């Protein structure tokens, strides 16, 4: 079940392979890939060490234990997610454009950090103690911010009034998060093109109002 993912990588300019230095970041990145592919519980530290071209014991110099690796993945996702979203939501942009930016932001995270995002939404159960509760709370706060954009749009009459903001948020989030399941870079559409299609779909709808190209 061990899978080679990273190898002594990177060339030093002379074309010869040199061993990449092991660091917390390297470990976390490789772990995210393995956890996303096989699940946290089904990934052993031996798998992870093998993927990094290292022995199991070496990992323990950089991280306290397996759960800490998981914690670091969660923190990484929140680090790249929260602040940009807050900036978008708190800006003076009109609601429709704001929602499009939110969708673009969230799909970007889902596409660029696909393994981390997968782990984020999949492996929450394996967090314990106060950290688990902290994540729950910050995840809720994140959703709440998106909800606010929709509420704002309804309040100013730009969005339909008969749509529950919470349900709409869940729908949008689901749409975006699903990206990590199927999106592969280099496909027909770029992440931002997909985000634009999603925005058009969610805001304008699929239905034709009048014949448009």
Site residues for its own copies per CB under 8 A: 37-43, 96, 99, 121-123, 125-126, 150, 153, 157-164, 167-168, 170-179, 181-182, 188-189, 194, 197-198, 200-209, 211-213
Between 149 and 168, how does the x/- string for binding to DNA read (CB under 7 A)?
A: --------------------
The Cα 181–Cα 8 span in angstroms is 28
The Cα 97–Cα 100 span in angstroms is 5
Binding residue (CB under 7 A) for DNA from 31, 33, 43, 169: 43
The Cα 188–Cα 207 span in angstroms is 24
From DNA, its own copies, none, interface partner of 10 (C-beta below 5 to 8 A by class): none
The pair of structure tokens assigned to 160 is 């339909």
The Cα 97–Cα 99 span in angstroms is 5
What are the φ and ψ backbone dihedral angles of 158, each rounded to 5 degrees?
A: -85, -35
From its own copies, DNA, none, interface partner of 170 (C-beta below 5 to 8 A by class): its own copies
Contact predicate 106/98, CB 8 Å = no
**Reduced to 3 states, what is the DSSP secondary structure of residue 17?**
strand
Binding residue (CB under 7 A) for DNA from 13, 15, 57, 129: 57
From its own copies, DNA, none, interface partner of 206 (C-beta below 5 to 8 A by class): its own copies
Binding segment toward DNA, per CB under 7 A, in 63-71, 72-80, 107-115, 130-138? 63-71
């Amino acid at each position: 079940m061990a899978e080679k993912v990273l190898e002594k990588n990177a060339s030093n300019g002379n074309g010869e392979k040199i061993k990449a230095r092991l660091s917390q970041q390297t470990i976390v990145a490789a772990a995210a890939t393995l956890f996303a592919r096989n699940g946290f519980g089904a990934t052993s530290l031996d798998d992870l060490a093998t993927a990094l071209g290292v022995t199991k014991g070496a990992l323990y110099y950089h991280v306290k234990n397996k759960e800490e690796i998981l914690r670091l993945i969660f923190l990484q996702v929140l680090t790249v997610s929260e602040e940009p979203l807050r900036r978008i939501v708190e800006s003076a942009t009109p609601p429709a454009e704001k929602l499009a930016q939110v969708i673009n932001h969230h799909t970007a995270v889902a596409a660029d950090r696909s393994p981390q995002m997968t782990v984020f939404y999949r492996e929450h159960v394996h967090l314990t103690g106060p950290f688990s509760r902290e994540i729950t709370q910050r995840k809720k706060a994140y959703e709440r911010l998106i909800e606010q954009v929709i509420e704002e749009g309804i309040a100013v009459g730009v969005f339909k009034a008969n749509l529950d903001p919470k349900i709409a948020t869940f729908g949008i989030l689901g749409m975006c998060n699903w990206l990590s399941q199927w999106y592969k870079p280099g496909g027909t559409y770029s992440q931002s093109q997909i985000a634009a299609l999603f925005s058009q779909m969610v805001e304008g709808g699929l239905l034709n109002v009048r014949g448009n190209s």
